[in-house]
Amino acid sequence: MLAGGTILLWTKPRYLLRVAMLASIPWTVPGILLGLHLPLCVIVVFQFIAAAGISVEGSLFWTAMQQSVPAEAASSTSFSSRTS
């Protein structure tokens, strides 16, 4: 989480949701590497990168949600985004 937060302190993306979805792509890599039976040290490195990406994705998603959804609709929108 610290790595993802540090990345966000240095950058200010213009398109929050686009960057958020791109940041979540590395999450698939550690599972693929496990299936390929690569050494554990390689998997740990890619897991660290994936965790930083998921941290960035979560932060940017909720920032975009707070910026674009009115306060009156926030509770119902927040509930539907968690359940889908």
The range of the structural domain enclosing residue 21 comes to 12-66
Closest CA to 65 of 51, 42, 54, 81: 81
Domain count, the chain: 1
- Each residue's pLDDT tens digit, 1-45: 677 778 788 888 899 999 999 999 999 999 999 999 999 999 999
- pLDDT of 78 reads 59
pLDDT band at 69 (very low <50, low <70, confident <90, very high): confident
CA atoms lying within 13 Å on the CB side of residue 3 = 10
Is the residue at 72 inside a domain?
Answer: no
Is the residue at 3 inside a domain?
Answer: no
Whole-prediction pTM = 0.74
